[in-house]
Structure 1
Amino acid sequence: MKKIFIAICGGLILSSCTWVKVTSKGEGVRLVQSVRTVESCKKLGQVNTKVESKVIVFNRDADKVSAELADLARNEAALMGGDTIVPISEITEGRRSFGVYQCFAARTQ
């Protein structure tokens, strides 16, 4: 019984953890919710992201999963030269796709 209790507590603690961090380049990428916002932007492509949506048998917090998916997309968009991402799919089993856009003039480094 004690082992089961420890396993359950451990699962609950792990399910609340955030594992994805935004890179310094990813911090320059904004997330917008509407494709209308990027109508005048140059589309660079899309990224497909995936994180764990369950830990053992416990579902992770939906807001944390959503935030981690966006953080991954921001990191990838930055590598593509993008500065804006827009979700283009719903979250399904820890997966989501984002459109990547360049909306601002390229900045010199």
Structure 2
Amino acid sequence: MRKTLLLLVPVLLLSACSWGITLDDAAKNVRTAWSGDVSGCRELGKVTVSVMDRVGPVDRNTITVRDELEVLARNQAAQMHADTIKPLAEPADGSQPWGAYQCGARQIPAAHSPNAPANPGSAPGKAQTFPVHGG
């Protein structure tokens, strides 16, 4: 019983790391321009966000760390009245710099974005379907 408890404690601690990082309501309107051109946008500044990338000797999941960094950057950008962020460098030691921009109605291509719709012409949250013909 004691060995099982000792094995469960690190797992619970690792899973608890992202519980407090949530997207603010205002940040839901902030887009991420992963490789988009922001040259037509007004630069509002730079934010550097950080999270724990390891707990003791254990590295945290890279995808989770990246997701948390993006959420924090979007939250900070919303406070600056920005509507677009763009990573300025790759994450390093749990920290990442982001540019904050005001692009207005200008649409930034979201190439390579994990949340980009499958069909760029479709509305977010809408799926485009095709009939399947049995053969």
Higher helix proportion (structure 1 or 2): 1
TM-score normalised per structure 2: 0.69
1:62 maps onto 2:62 in alignment: yes
The higher radius of gyration belongs to 2
2:83 maps to which residue?
Answer: 83
- SS at 1:39 equivalent: coil
Change (3 A) 1:67 1:33: same
Alpha-carbon separation, structure 2, partners of 1:25 and 1:83: 10
How many Å apart are 1:8 and its aligned residue? 4.0
User: Taking structure 1 as reference, are residues 94 and 77 closer, same or farther at Cα in structure 2, changes over 3 Å only?
Assistant: same
Match of 2:30 in 1: 29
Aligned alpha-carbon RMSD (Å): 1.9
- More contact order relative to length (CA 8 Å, sep ≥ 6): 1
Cα distance, 1:37–1:7 mapped onto 2, change above 3 Å: farther
Q: Cα distance 1:8–1:90, how it changes in 2: closer, same or farther (>3 A)?
A: farther
Unaligned runs of 5+ in 1: none
Give CA-to-partner distance per residue, 1:33-59, whole Å, 9 cap, x none.
Answer: 12x421111010110001011122211
- Of Structure 1 and Structure 2, the greater strand share is in 1
* Structure 2 runs not aligned, ≥5 long: 106-135
Distance in 2 (CA, whole Å) between partners of 1:60 and 1:89 is 19
Identity %: 35
Matched, 1:93 2:85: no
Amino acid at match of 1:96: Q
TM-score, normalised with respect to structure 1: 0.84
**Paired residue secondary structure (2:91):** coil
